[in-house]
Structure 1
Amino acid sequence: MQFIENTEMSEAAQVALAKRIILRSKIKDFFFIATGVCMASIGLKGFLLPNNFLDGGAMGVALLFDLITPLNLSLLILLVNAPFIAMGYKQISPQFAVKSTLAIIALSSLVHFIEVSSFTDDKLLIAVFGGFFLGSGIGLSIRGGAVIDGTEVLAVSVSRKSSLTVGDAIALFNILLFIVAILLVSLETAMYSMLTYLSASKTVDFIINGIEEYIGVMIISDEAEQVKATIANDLGRGVTAFRADGGYGKKGNNLPDRKILFCAITRMEISKILLEVEKIDPKAFVIQYPIKDTKGGMIKKRPLH
Structure 2
Amino acid sequence: MNPIFSKFLTDIARKRIENNLLVKKAVTEKDIAPVLNNIKVEISHAIKESIFIIIGVFSAGFGLKGFLLPNHFIDGGATGISLLLENTTNLSISSLLIIVNIPFIILATKTIGKKFALKSIIAITLLALVVHFVEYPIITEDKLLISIFGGFFLGLGIGLAMRGGSVIDGTEVLAIYISRKLSITIGDVLFLINLIIFSFGAYILSIETALYAILTYLAAAKTVDFVVDGVEEYVGVTIISKHHEALRIMITKKLGRACTIYAGKGGFETQGKNYDKDIIYTIVTRLELAKLNTEIDKIDKNAFITMGIVKDLRGGMIKRKPLK
TM-score by length of 1: 0.93
Partner of 1:29: 49
Q: Tell me how far apart the structure 1 counterparts of residues 261 and 321 of structure 2 sit (CA, whole Å).
A: 24
Q: Tell me how far apart the structure 2 counterparts of residues 153 and 255 of structure 1 sit (CA, whole Å).
A: 47
Q: Tell me how far apart the structure 2 counterparts of residues 258 and 169 of structure 1 sit (CA, whole Å).
A: 42
1:37, 1:141 within 8 Å by CA — same for their partners in 2?
yes
Partner of 1:210: 230
Give the letter aligned to residue 244 of structure 1. G
Partner of 2:15: none
Is residue 60 of structure 2 the alignment partner of residue 47 of structure 1? no
Q: Tell me how far apart the structure 2 counterparts of residues 155 and 35 of structure 1 sit (CA, whole Å).
A: 25
Is residue 173 of structure 2 the alignment partner of residue 179 of structure 1? no
1:290 to 309, 312, 317: 309
Give the letter aligned to residue 186 of structure 1. S
Is residue 137 of structure 2 the alignment partner of residue 137 of structure 1? no
Alpha-carbon deviation of 1:117?
A: 2.9
Give the letter aligned to residue 295 of structure 1. R
1:154 to 170, 174, 188: 174
- Measured against aligned partners, the alpha-carbon deviations of 1:13-51 in whole angstroms (never above 9, x if no partner) come to 322222221111000011000010000011111100000
Q: Tell me how far apart the structure 1 counterparts of residues 40 and 272 of structure 2 sit (CA, whole Å).
A: 53
The correspondence of residues 1-305 of structure 1 with structure 2, limited to 5 A, is 9-248=29-268, 252-253=271-272, 256-305=275-324
Alpha-carbon deviation of 1:132?
A: 0.8
Q: State the aligned residue count.
A: 298
Summarize the Cα distance change of 1:10–1:272 in structure 2 as closer, same or farther, 3 Å threshold.
Answer: farther
Q: Tell me how far apart the structure 2 counterparts of residues 273 and 255 of structure 1 sit (CA, whole Å).
A: 29
Summarize the Cα distance change of 1:275–1:35 in structure 2 as closer, same or farther, 3 Å threshold.
Answer: same
1:227, 1:280 within 8 Å by CA — same for their partners in 2?
yes
1:37, 1:137 within 8 Å by CA — same for their partners in 2?
yes
Q: Tell me how far apart the structure 2 counterparts of residues 186 and 252 of structure 1 sit (CA, whole Å).
A: 65
Summarize the Cα distance change of 1:14–1:255 in structure 2 as closer, same or farther, 3 Å threshold.
Answer: closer
Q: Tell me how far apart the structure 2 counterparts of residues 193 and 75 of structure 1 sit (CA, whole Å).
A: 21
The residue matched to 2:318 in structure 1 has which SS?
Answer: coil
How well do the aligned residues superpose, as a CA RMSD in angstroms?
1.7
Q: Tell me how far apart the structure 1 counterparts of residues 295 and 99 of structure 2 sit (CA, whole Å).
A: 55
The residue matched to 1:218 in structure 2 has which SS?
Answer: strand
Structure 1 residues without counterparts, runs of 5 or longer: 1-7
Structure 2 residues without counterparts, runs of 5 or longer: 1-27
- Measured against aligned partners, the alpha-carbon deviations of 1:253-297 in whole angstroms (never above 9, x if no partner) come to 467532221111111111111112112221112122222222111
Alpha-carbon deviation of 1:234?
A: 2.2
The residue matched to 2:280 in structure 1 has which SS?
Answer: strand
Q: Which moved more, 1:111-120 or 1:58-67?
A: 111-120
Alpha-carbon deviation of 1:201?
A: 0.7
Q: Tell me how far apart the structure 2 counterparts of residues 244 and 211 of structure 1 sit (CA, whole Å).
A: 34
Summarize the Cα distance change of 1:223–1:9 in structure 2 as closer, same or farther, 3 Å threshold.
Answer: farther
The residue matched to 1:262 in structure 2 has which SS?
Answer: strand
Give the letter aligned to residue 52 of structure 2. F
Q: Which moved more, 1:207-216 or 1:128-137?
A: 207-216
Alpha-carbon deviation of 1:12?
A: 3.1
Q: Tell me how far apart the structure 2 counterparts of residues 199 and 229 of structure 1 sit (CA, whole Å).
A: 42
2:265, 2:273 within 8 Å by CA — same for their partners in 1?
no
TM-score by length of 2: 0.87
